Chains A and B, each alone.
Chain A
Amino acid sequence: MKRRTLLAGATLALGLAGAAWAEEPLKVGFVYVGPIGDGGWTYQHDLGRLAVEEAYGDRVETIYQESVPEGADAERVLTQMALSGAKLIFTTSFGFMDATNNVAARFPDVKFEHATGYTRAHPNVTTYDARFYEGRAVLGTIAGRMTQSNKIGYIGSFPIPEVIQGINSTYLHAKKVNPDVELVVIWAYTWFDPAKEADAARAMIEQGVDVILAHTDSTAPLAEAARSEGVIGFGQASDMSEYKPSPRVSSIIDNWAPYYIKRVGAVLDGTWEQQASWGGIAEDEVVIGEITDAVPAEVKAEAETLIEAIRSREYHPFTGPINKQDGSVWLAEGEVAEDGDLLGMMFYVEGITGEIPQ
């Protein structure tokens, strides 16, 4: 009897002592479509993961898998992660959409966060994205001011709304500060292929383009710009700081850390809810990298004012009057674009020559 009470007491004491500590670390999984060493898209997501580890220390344990092909393999990886005890999983590519939703159906108590998707078939699936077009507005402004040849180039990945938003935003803002500017678009049909990107940049440079923006993720366009006189570019997805101060005069950085920390915290608190998140400069999800001294002071000031205006929500990059490429009116004076319109945007704005490939 005595021994039993002693044992019970000991267990109780241990239990109480351990209660605060007994919380098993939350396992958070990350599924990447590319290698973390890509210096671009996946690299930035992984920085977010590391930020989560730093923010929560022992309370979380992160696991990740890189270069997961989309399709059946993705589903298997997700299932295995869920089976191994992950309670929150981030899937960082559009192509994981079906796999995420399928596995979410089988594991209702695991939370799934799918990047850049639009399907939330189950209550435990959230989608998230970033307003890259806000960053493009700033870069477009710098581009419009800095170009000497009045030709700026945009290396597009795939003709999807996100990229079209970027193209339109860039053009609108370049044109605002430089009415003579012309935008050249090349479609690389890849998110990441340094050789192709270098070729595309070269083709543009040969045709007189002197400012290059890219929606593709490698540093190849900057390398190409570096070996041509008078050509500048921007870092894409990550800062690409080894090309400072020129040709990289600024950059648009995907900063997933604040969002990831917030969502992990929500799971830890028990306040996680399904949502469709689309953060931008205001939420620090889109960050404009250091504007170097290669940019004249007044241009830099102009860019920084624009950043602040967007951050404080005073200014929306898609504010009318804006017409579509065919001349029809899209936004009236002062009218601001609706999120829905932007998410399905498949038209160029007036002034851009060329067609969107079908």
Chain B
Amino acid sequence: MVAVVLTMVAGGLMFAALGKDPVAAIRTIFWDPLFHPQFAAYSRPQLLVKAGPLILIAIGLSLGFRAGIWNIGAEGQYILGAICGAGVALAFYPAGGWHIFPLMVLAGALGGWAWAMIPAVLRIKFRTNEILVSLLLVYVAQSLLAAMAVGRMRNPEGGGFPGSRNLAQYPPAANGELIAGTGIHLGVLAAVVAVIAAHVLMQRHILGFNISLAGQAPRAARFAGVSPNRLVLVCLGVSGALAGLAGMFEVSGPSGRLTIDFAHGYGFTAIIVAFLGRLNPIGILLAGLLMALTYIGGELAQFMLQIPRAAIQAFQGMLLFFLLALDLMSNYRVRWLRREVS
């Protein structure tokens, strides 16, 4: 897309200003993770691993965003899902049994759902703005995480360091690799399922129709009998549950243990992914992969070309700006035409 090309150009200029070879930089970020002979076999599946949680969360968010329901607190729901999932696993430790993992999945989804219900209920009952409530709850969730990692859930055999036991090393609770050597885990699978489900939902199911309607023409929706309250509950609930699931999959898989800084901002990045994907399930899938590409490519660029991490962050921000600008530019043009007519 045009925006990507523009970003490459602008980013290239920035890298050149830093004294690095711009072509090499762009190539390392975008091309190497996919095709470099030394790495690609490893980084390609890693793209899926990195994109998985982003896509999962973004799908949930997109439902709400389409309906004008802004869940900005996905990060907090992600954390709660991880805490609940890890909590269940630790409660069972060291017992074995196939029932543990499904229970963790349930707990993770419920945890995220419940955390999202707070802004939902407050909005329905008290008309409180869900943007701010969900955002503030992120901070509360972070404090809760710290409290758990340092206190209740701390590994008693961990030498006094904060952090829970390593769940990835506790087989019944581990979210292990499905295909050896790739790191692809159930969370990635869940993300793919979510994409398909969301696609079907939006295209075929009445709920999907209601969501689109509510977003584009709220009054018409109300006339059509769509209950705004129910929509709020459903959208926030689903996005919370998905975010919670993502958190639970991360903590029992790639991350392995619950630590103070376990959350890496996936909840916020997912918001960006949702917009990049134009709130459309297939678009989100692609956007998530693109974001993951910039992260992984960025990491490669860091140690292969000594490009500072800050530059990569700025680069990602630029990408977003360009995409937003160009996206709406086409919108604007349409309006312009309309004005001519009237």
Residues of A near any B CB (own CB < 8 A): 29, 35, 63-67, 69-73, 75-77, 79-81, 83-85, 94-95, 98, 118, 158-161, 164, 189, 343-344, 346, 357-358
> Are A80 and B300 interface neighbours, CB within 8 A?
yes
> Are B151 and A358 interface neighbours, CB within 8 A?
yes
Query: Which stretch, B42-50, B208-216, B275-283, touches the partner chain A?
Result: B42-50
Residues of B within 8 A of A164 (CB): 160
**What residue in chain A is nearest B159 (Cβ atoms)?**
A118
Residues of A within 8 A of B261 (CB): 69-70
The list of the 8 closest CB pairs from A to B, nearest first, reads A72-B254, A71-B255, A65-B303, A160-B160, A63-B303, A67-B309, A65-B302, A160-B161
**What residue in chain B is nearest A98 (Cβ atoms)?**
B256
Residues of A within 8 A of B304 (CB): 63, 84
Known: A79-B42, A84-B38. A71 touches B302 (CB 8 A): no
> Are A158 and B166 interface neighbours, CB within 8 A?
no
Complex Cα spacing A254 to B212, Å? 59
**What residue in chain A is nearest B40 (Cβ atoms)?**
A83
Residues of A within 8 A of B50 (CB): 72, 76
**How far does the Cβ of B48 sit from chain A's closest Cβ, in whole Å?**
12
**What residue in chain A is nearest B300 (Cβ atoms)?**
A80
Residues of A within 8 A of B135 (CB): none
**How far does the Cβ of B261 sit from chain A's closest Cβ, in whole Å?**
7
> Are B296 and A76 interface neighbours, CB within 8 A?
yes
Q: Is there a chain A Cβ closer than 8 Å to B250's Cβ?
A: yes
Specify which of B150, B162, B257 is in contact with A98 (CB 8 Å cutoff).
B257
> Are B309 and A29 interface neighbours, CB within 8 A?
no
**How far does the Cβ of B260 sit from chain A's closest Cβ, in whole Å?**
8
**How far does the Cβ of A78 sit from chain B's closest Cβ, in whole Å?**
11
Q: Which of B151, B160, B253, B264 has the most CB of A within 10 A?
A: B160
Q: Is there a chain A Cβ closer than 8 Å to B259's Cβ?
A: yes
Residues of A within 8 A of B168 (CB): 98
Residues of B within 8 A of A73 (CB): 264, 299
Residues of A within 8 A of B166 (CB): 98
Interface string of B236-269 (1 = CB under 8 A from A): 0000000000000010011111011110100000
Residues of A within 8 A of B255 (CB): 71-72
Residues of B near any A CB (own CB < 8 A): 38-39, 42-43, 46, 49-50, 146, 150-151, 159-163, 166, 168, 183, 250, 253-257, 259-262, 264, 296, 299-300, 302-304, 308-309
Residues of B within 8 A of A63 (CB): 303-304
Complex Cα spacing A159 to B151, Å? 11
10 A-B contacts, Cβ less than 8 Å apart? A63-B303, A70-B259, A70-B261, A71-B255, A72-B254, A80-B303, A84-B304, A118-B159, A159-B150, A357-B150
Complex Cα spacing A63 to B302, Å? 9
**What residue in chain B is nearest A159 (Cβ atoms)?**
B160
Complex Cα spacing A63 to B303, Å? 6
> Are B299 and A80 interface neighbours, CB within 8 A?
yes
> Are B150 and A158 interface neighbours, CB within 8 A?
yes
> Are A343 and B43 interface neighbours, CB within 8 A?
no
**How far does the Cβ of B247 sit from chain A's closest Cβ, in whole Å?**
12
> Are B46 and A71 interface neighbours, CB within 8 A?
no
> Are B309 and A66 interface neighbours, CB within 8 A?
yes
> Are B299 and A71 interface neighbours, CB within 8 A?
no
Complex Cα spacing A343 to B31, Å? 46
> Are A83 and B42 interface neighbours, CB within 8 A?
yes
Given A80-B39, A84-B39, list of 16 further CB < 8 A pairs? A66-B302, A71-B254, A72-B253, A72-B254, A75-B254, A76-B50, A77-B299, A79-B42, A83-B38, A85-B38, A94-B161, A159-B160, A189-B260, A344-B160, A357-B150, A358-B151
Complex Cα spacing A64 to B303, Å? 5
Residues of A within 8 A of B38 (CB): 83-85
> Are B159 and A158 interface neighbours, CB within 8 A?
no
Specify which of B43, B256, B309 is in contact with A80 (CB 8 Å cutoff).
B43
Complex Cα spacing A236 to B264, Å? 28
